Amino acid sequence: MIRYTLKCANGHAFDSWFASGEAFDRLSAAKHVICPDCGSADVEKALMAPAVRHALTEPVTDREKALADLRAKVEANSEYVGTDFATEARRIHDGDAPGRSIYGEAKIEDAKALIEDGIPVAPLPFMPPRRTN
């Protein structure tokens, strides 16, 4: 994964993650990279400086505040199931586990299989909480 700082033709700056530099180039050429502020597909890479901020820094921009609010709501109202997300989502859908809101991590092929099977899932715009040593 690679993160780029991007800028639209209207001057809005934003960050986005891509599988690779080539993935960004393909998506950008197909006009699938869209500015979240104005919807412009005229987007290019902006100059980037390494961002070194402590993980517990308070959100600064409106976008960071909105993401922090969304994350807080998801964490308060859903159960984190970690890497068992695809399995648990399927169990809930099939009635083999109690219905509830969950979030976690899934491989892209597992998420695609859930969608193809009619199980509603959506990616979240933040990294899941991970316990590390």
pLDDT at 41 exceeding the cut of 90: yes
- For residue 49, give the nearest of 85, 15, 94, 86 by alpha carbon: 15
- For residue 6, give the nearest of 110, 32, 94 by alpha carbon: 32
pLDDT of 20-29, one tens digit each?
Answer: 889 999 999 9
pLDDT of 103-122, one tens digit each?
Answer: 999 999 999 999 999 999 99
Torsion, CA 53, CA 58, CA 62, CA 67, rounded to 10: 90
Instruction: Using CB atoms within 10 Å of the CB of residue 86, give its burial: 0 to 12 exposed, 13 to 18 middle, 19+ buried.
Output: buried
Q: Per-domain residue ranges for the chain?
A: 2-45, 62-116
Mean pLDDT calculated for residue range 91-114: 95
**Full-model pTM:** 0.56
**SS3 label, residue 20:** coil
